Every structure is written in C-alpha cells, then in structure tokens.
Structure 1
Amino acid sequence: MSLIADEQLHTNTYIWSQEKDQVTISFLVPEHCKSKDLDIVIEQQQVKAGLKGQEPVLKGKLYAPIDHFTSLWQLEKNNATPSSNPSSLTASPSLSIASSFAFLSPAHSPNSSVILPAPALTESMTFDTSSQHAIDPSSLPPSLPSSAENSQPNSPISSTTPPPAFAQESSKKYRLLTLHLEKEDQNTEWVVPVSGGYQGNEMDMDPTSAYHLAGWFETRMRDAERAFKHYEMAAEKGHTRAMLKIAAMYEVGKESMEESPVMTPVYPSRDATKAFEWHKRAADGTVAADGTTIGPSDAEACYIIGTTYAAGSEEAGVEKDYDLALMYFQKCMLTTAGHIDFDFSHADDPNDPGLQRKPLRSYQPHTRDERYFCSAAFQAGLIFLGGAGDQDHASHHVNEPNPGLAIEYWKQSAMLGHAQSCFNIGVMYANGMGVTQDVWEAGRWFGRAKKLDGIGNLEVPPGVEVVEWHADRSSDHPNKQANDSAPVGASSSSSAAKRRKKKTKKRSRQQRQQDQDTLKLIVGVGSLVAVVSVITYFVLRKKD
C-alpha cells in the first residue's frame, strides 16, 4: 500500500505500506532524537510509538495480529524534511482501499475559475465591454503584492514573509523512524493499520489512525455514525485532512445526504459558518506550544479561504477582505511550490520576457499541488487586473489595477501548463494592458492556450493570428511588428490584405519613379551621342 500520489509526509502523522508478509509504518522525529527519547511498544495486536512525554504518533489496536517477536523498528541516520515525497519512503506500489478523500465543493474546485472573455478587438484594441460575458472587476478575487526585497530564490513568490507556521515547519530537520510489523497471517490484506482504540478504549488512538478508520467506516462498512465520530476526533486533534472532511460535511449537511440512494450518513446539519471555520483551521495549520506543527497548512483550504475572503459570504458571516484573501492565496502558493518539480527561478529573467526559450509545460497541471498553485496564481492575477477599488476592504496594494503584476502571476501558472493563464496573457498583449501592445506575442500565447485547452472553450479573438511558440518574427507574417500600433479589425485576413495592398501601391510608385529616371538618363545620353555624331560628321566632311 502507498498513499495517494498527492499526499506528503508531515510531522505528527505517519504513512504506511504493506507487502505480503509485512506492514511498514513511517513517521518523522526531530533530528536530535535518540533511541532513549522514543516510547515504542509493539505487541501482538497493540502498538504505540512516538516521543516520550508527547502524544504518540501511532497508537491503537492493529488491524490484524502480528509476530511481535520478529517485528522491529529503526531510526534512519540521514535527515528528512516535512512534506517528503512518500514514494521514496513506502515499499509497495499498491493502493490501500482505506485511502479516503476530502470532499471538494464544486464552487471551490480549482481550474473552474472565471476566465477573461475572448474580446472582439475593436479599432482601438480595447476590451469589448459590451459583451454579455464581460467580467465585473469588482467581483474578481484578489491577489498578492510583490516585494523584491523579500523574494525567495527558486520560488515564484516574491511578496511577504512566509507565514510563521510554514517557516517553522520548513526550517527544522528530522529523521525518519520506521516500524516493520511482520504479519502473523500472510494471506491477510490490511485495509487500515489500526482498527480500534488502544487497550479496549474505542477512541484511544492517534488522529491519523482515526482518519483512516473513519474512511473505512464510511466507504467500506457503511457505518456513517462511527465514521463521523472518528473524523471529528481526528480533526479536533489537528489532523488536516480530517478538518477538510468535517468542513465538507458541514457544507453538504445531512439534509442533502438524506436523499442519497446508497446510505444516509449521520452528517451535521448544514452550517456554512462552521464549514468556513474548519477550512480556516486547515489553512492556518496547528502549531503546538513548543513550535511543533501538529497539522500542516493545507493548500486546498488556503485556496477556499482565499476565494471566500475575496468574494465575501453572507451565509458564512464573512465580509470581503482583500488583504486576507491575498495572504491565503500567497500561502497556498508557498505551501505547494516546494512540492512542484519545476524551476521557477527563470520566471523573472529580464532578457527573456516572453519565456520563448524556456521549457514551458506541454501538458496541464496534473498533481494536487500544481492545480492549487495555478489556481491561486490565476486568482491573484485577476485581482491585480481589476483592482479592489474599495478602501474599506483592501490596502493600497490592490486598490488600483496593476495589469503588469497580473501578467507576472499568470506567467507563473502558465509555465505549469495552465491554459487560462496563457489565454489571459494573450489578451493583455493584444490590448497593450500592462505591456507594450504586441499582436505577434499575443498570437504566441493564444496558440499555447489552445494547445493546452482540453475543453475547447478558448477561442482566439479576431484580429490575432496564432503563432507557434518557438517561431521567430517573420517579415511576411501579418503580425510581424512587435509594437504595431495599426488597428486590428474584426478580421485578420482583411487587415492583412489592406497592408499588402498598401505595400503593393508603394512598390508600384517606386518602380514608376525608377523607370522614369532610367528613361531620362537614356534620353540624355542619346541626345549627347547625337550631337557628338553630327559635329563629327561635319568635321570629316570639311576635311574631305
């Protein structure tokens, strides 16, 4: 068994895997930790493991009996970091059926963000605000201010200092502790590591085990009451994924679930306020008094809280606050950037504003971290495009539109294959918003958006011809001028025809002038030759 692909190893939680004869459970302990600092008990069907004087990371009744005489644990010598890739820590590629998921409301789904309309470019190349699809900038969620002095190397974030919890988590070093539990019955396939409480007490277990067990109760056992009870217990103890699950339950409510043909979960009544509170707890993370991160900040929760603050929610009792929205969008990007296998450092290369020679993705964001990073960056750009326009809800950073900064954020997500961001950059270049107007460059971004668009909803606006990403500016291309100030009309073919006709007339005038000059020269030379010939004739005749 291994975790779902998007889940990482954090402190105060564990990951687990299994082979036919063994179950492996791993978690992090502080770098300075020694064997004497550990409290580990392995019995035939009971287990407890963690640091002395602290809540165990693993505790409960095992799913099946083990051979505790041959089972063992080991402490790795090398350092590990929070959010390590679990694929390098687990032993089996098979997926556990106990892997449950957190609900995601459609309204908060990444990549369902509103995109800019494809405007029909007018004579002055401005947005077609008469379109029924035009966006009201005041309704757009905001983004974050930029500050060069706080920029981080190899990171797309160049704004404020990382949130304290994030900084504490990423600055500490840890070692990996692994338990190797030998199965008593090798024919038994474990679905969860822990199936009950420690020494007969049903709820005496660690929060990670409670979360896994709750998923088993919900999806396999159809025991909604026990599932909800275990999710709630895990959430109260700081388990981030359990917080998301509880928040989703409050969003859905038992009223909606009663119509389910499969089962009637014992969900709470719908409560938007509590849903927001649980999402916020997951976004903020949980830090103990000693600085230990109990529950890490979750990207999904950060994105949800950011969009909620950006739009406001009367139902949840949340007022618009663009500064807070920006903070959570930034936190979402900070939380995910370190888990994305991509070098963002070239994004600010002043000699390559079009990124034409950089290895942009040829596919869409495909991991959880990439999707939420792109969504947060996209929403950030929308806010800077429109500006908050509201002194009561935002600071001076976003009170006025900043299309140039909007483009910078969209370029971050565009590099990861976010089609909507590419499209919006094309619109900005075509209209000269935040950048010098460049129809050829717009064509490149539109072309990239079309290739990445899996739905087919992104249509290149009239007046712009699609250009291959690695193409060079060509003399015969209708959009060859980098700073072409000539108006682009409704049809690119008609515009090109007009330009070609104009060039043809100019060449005709030049040719006629050359022909006239040549004729004059010929006539002049001919006249001179004639005069010389006449004089020569009379001179020779006189001599004769």
Structure 2
Amino acid sequence: MKLSKKILISFTLGLCMNPAFADQNFFNATEISAKKGDMTAQYNLGVMYANGQGVTQNYSKAFEWYSRAAAQGDADAQYRLGLMYASGQGVTQNYSKAFEWYSKAAAQGDALVQNRLGVMYANGQGVTQNYSKAFEWYNKAAAQGDMTAQYNLGKMFEKGLGLSQNDFKAFEWYSRAAAQGDVDAQNRLGVMYANGQGVAQNYSKAFEWYSRAAAQGDATAQYNLGSMYDNGEGVTQNYSKAFHWYSKAAAQGDVDAQNNLGALYVNGQGVAQSYSKAFEWYSKAAAQGNLNAQYNLGVMYYNGDGISQSDAKAFEWFNKAAAQGHAQAKRLLETW
C-alpha cells in the first residue's frame, strides 16, 4: 500500500518530534496536496481520517477522500471504498457498490481484491452467484501467490462447487496455501491426510498439519489434535493431551470439543472425574445444537449423575437429540 511507505518516511523525519505534532504536520501537508488533486495524497488523507491519525477519526471524510482518489483510478482507494461499502462503515452497506469498486481495483491486478471479488461471486453478494466467475478470479489471485485464493480454489475442488469434484486438485491447492501459513488450508490438509483423501493416508502428516494450524489458534485443528490423542490415531493415546487440546478448542466455542470435554470429565480421563464440569460443557455444546451433547445431557438427567434425577428433563433432551436424528435417543423414546 502506498500509505505505509509515505508514513514511514514521515516518521523517520519526525523521530525527535512529539508524535502528535508529527502526525498533525503530516496531515496538514497531505491535505494541501490532496486539495490540489494529488491522487496519492487523497488516498493517504482517506487513510488518516479512517485511522484518526493527525485528525479526529471520521469515516465520512475517509469515504470522501477515497472517492476522489478512486475516481482518478487509484486501486488502493477503490479497494478501500469496496471495503467500506461491504462493511457499512461510514456509508450505508451496499454489496452492489462494493462489487463495483472491487471490480475496478481487481482489473488493475491487485491479488487481494481479486480474491475478494471471487468471494462475492461465490456467495452471490452484490452480484448473481457464479462459481465460474469465482473460479476465474480466485485463479488470477492464486497465480500471484495469494494464499487465501489458493485455499478458496482448494475448497471449490474439494466440494465440487461449479466444477468437477477433485480431491487431488484440492490437495494441490491446499498444499500451496498451507505452505504459506494459511491456517484453514493447514487444517484441511490435515483432514485429507487423516482420511486418505487426494493423498495416501498418513496420520503423521495429519498430525503435523493439525499442529501447525493449532499453533496459530485454529479451534478446529485444536479439536482434531484432541481427537487424535483421544483415539490414539497416529499418536500414542493420551487423554491428558486430548484434554489439553479439547480445552483450547472448547474455549473458542468449538461445539464438538465442548461435548468431548464433557465426556472426559464424566469418565475421569486425562482429568479428575467431575459430573458438574461434564454438565457444564455438555450444556454449552447442547445450547449450540450439538445432538450428541443433547443426548448426553439426557443421560445425566436420566441417571441423576451429579444433578437431581429428572425424567422430564431427560425426555426433553432426548427429544431434542432425536429430532436431529440421534439413533440412540430415538430408540429410547420409542420405549419411553
């Protein structure tokens, strides 16, 4: 982005100055240039208004100056206008307008915006859904090395969105994105290795990629690591390690991790046995609609495990689980 270069120069010259004074001076100089029609200054002024740098934050003013720069063809300003319209920041949310400005910036070759344009085509935001167009723009961005676009291509191939389903192609694109650090691609690569999907099954490789994604804080990868330790898949079974990773994922709201954490507490596996903790985690997962957690809550109420026994409550939770297709819950209700 042009701003980063210009601001760095300004900061270098102002090292011995009060930062607020340096910002104010830079803002004043930028404003003068912007009013004279300098396209880059107009863009930078928009950024300063958006960030409250040298001036009170004002999204409406940011929008005004981005608009002036964008009208002169500045791709960064066109992208920022697209973002503002997409998020409704400083302007009424309008996906059609976001699409319009993203299109202008993408046509100038910006990979980040090309990927965003692909997302809009894929989701039908501001434009009729068109997977072929989504694929086209993802391809352009991916060819420039954009890891998010590479991940999105992998997802299209894995799910067969607008093209023939192809696990081998999905694996190829996920690999490219994962190598650049894309956390979603790293997790999907782990899944593909675990399932032998588009590549020979390899639990060691699955563990490797889950670990990379989990280290970046990805809740799904953390759950997947917990599951590997829980079931001894590719690693020595270790309930303490399973508890560790399920806890991290559960704290981020991963519903399957919350349910499995409840099960570890019920059985005292990797942690001291605690029905109250099990009830707490089952309840969190059940509230999010997890059918297994709903069934498990029903069992706790039915048996009175750590809580007051209640056939009515047990029936309520069994019924919720059965409504989602839980086989055991259905069988229990048939004989209720």
> Under a length normalisation based on structure 2, what TM-score does the superposition of the two structures give?
0.57
Which has the larger Rg? 1
Residue in 1 that maps onto 2:278: 445
Task: For residue 456 of structure 1, report the CA deviation from its aligned partner.
Answer: 5.5
Instruction: From 211, 214, 219, give the equivalent of 1:374.
Output: 219
The amino acid of 2:103's aligned partner reads S
Residue in 2 that maps onto 1:74: 44
1:195 aligns with 2:103: yes
1:144-183 to 2 correspondences below 5 Å: 180-182=66-68
Residue in 2 that maps onto 1:426: 262
In 2, the alpha carbon distance for the partners of 1:30 and 1:277 equals 38
Residue in 1 that maps onto 2:109: 205
In 2, the alpha carbon distance for the partners of 1:325 and 1:246 equals 20
In 1, the alpha carbon distance for the partners of 2:264 and 2:305 equals 15
Q: Which has the higher contact order (CA 8 A, sep 6+)?
A: 1
Question: Equivalent residue of 1:193, what SS?
Answer: helix
Deviations 1:312-349 (A, max 9, x none): 22xx1x122223222222222233x3xxxxxxxxxxxx
1:272 aligns with 2:167: yes
Distance 1:378 1:214, change over 3 A: closer
Give the structure with the larger strand fraction. Answer: 1
Residue in 2 that maps onto 1:465: 305
Residue in 1 that maps onto 2:211: 330
Q: Is the 8 A contact 2:154 2:174 kept in 1?
A: yes
Question: Equivalent residue of 2:103, what SS?
Answer: strand
Residue in 2 that maps onto 1:250: 157
Q: How many residues of Structure 1 are paired with residues of Structure 2 in the alignment?
A: 242
In 2, the alpha carbon distance for the partners of 1:229 and 1:466 equals 57
Structure 1: tracts of 5 or more residues without a match: 1-13, 15-25, 36-65, 81-88, 93-178, 258-266, 286-296, 338-372, 389-393, 468-476, 479-490, 492-544
Deviations 1:232-278 (A, max 9, x none): 1101112222212222332344xx74xxxxxxxxx4x4321111111
In 2, the alpha carbon distance for the partners of 1:189 and 1:380 equals 42
Deviations 1:481-540 (A, max 9, x none): xxxxxxxxxx9xxxxxxxxxxxxxxxxxxxxxxxxxxxxxxxxxxxxxxxxxxxxxxxxx
Distance 1:74 1:379, change over 3 A: same
Structure 2: tracts of 5 or more residues without a match: 11-33, 52-56, 73-80, 82-90, 315-336
Residue in 2 that maps onto 1:401: 237
Deviations 1:437-490 (A, max 9, x none): x3xx133222332244222522333555245xxxxxxxxx99xxxxxxxxxxxx
Residue in 1 that maps onto 2:85: none
1:216-365 to 2 correspondences below 5 Å: 219=124, 220=127, 226-253=133-160, 257=162, 267=163, 269-285=164-180, 297-313=181-197, 316=198, 318-335=199-216, 337=217
Question: Equivalent residue of 1:69, what SS?
Answer: coil
- Identity over aligned residues, as a percent? 21
Q: Is the 8 A contact 1:443 1:464 kept in 2?
A: no
Task: For residue 29 of structure 1, report the CA deviation from its aligned partner.
Answer: 5.7
In 2, the alpha carbon distance for the partners of 1:445 and 1:422 equals 9
In 2, the alpha carbon distance for the partners of 1:213 and 1:443 equals 48
Q: Is the 8 A contact 1:310 1:320 kept in 2?
A: yes
Q: Is the 8 A contact 1:374 1:413 kept in 2?
A: yes
Distance 1:321 1:312, change over 3 A: same
Task: For residue 381 of structure 1, report the CA deviation from its aligned partner.
Answer: 1.2
Distance 1:412 1:239, change over 3 A: same
Distance 1:236 1:382, change over 3 A: same
In 2, the alpha carbon distance for the partners of 1:374 and 1:217 equals 27
In 1, the alpha carbon distance for the partners of 2:305 and 2:58 equals 50
Q: Is the 8 A contact 2:261 2:281 kept in 1?
A: no
Give the structure with the larger helix fraction. Answer: 2
In 2, the alpha carbon distance for the partners of 1:406 and 1:190 equals 44
Distance 1:448 1:228, change over 3 A: closer
The amino acid of 1:234's aligned partner reads A
Deviations 1:129-153 (A, max 9, x none): xxxxxxxxxxxxxxxxxxxxxxxxx
Q: Is the 8 A contact 1:410 1:425 kept in 2?
A: yes
Task: For residue 193 of structure 1, report the CA deviation from its aligned partner.
Answer: 3.2
Q: Is the 8 A contact 1:381 1:410 kept in 2?
A: yes
Backbone CA RMSD of aligned residues: 4.3
The amino acid of 1:34's aligned partner reads I
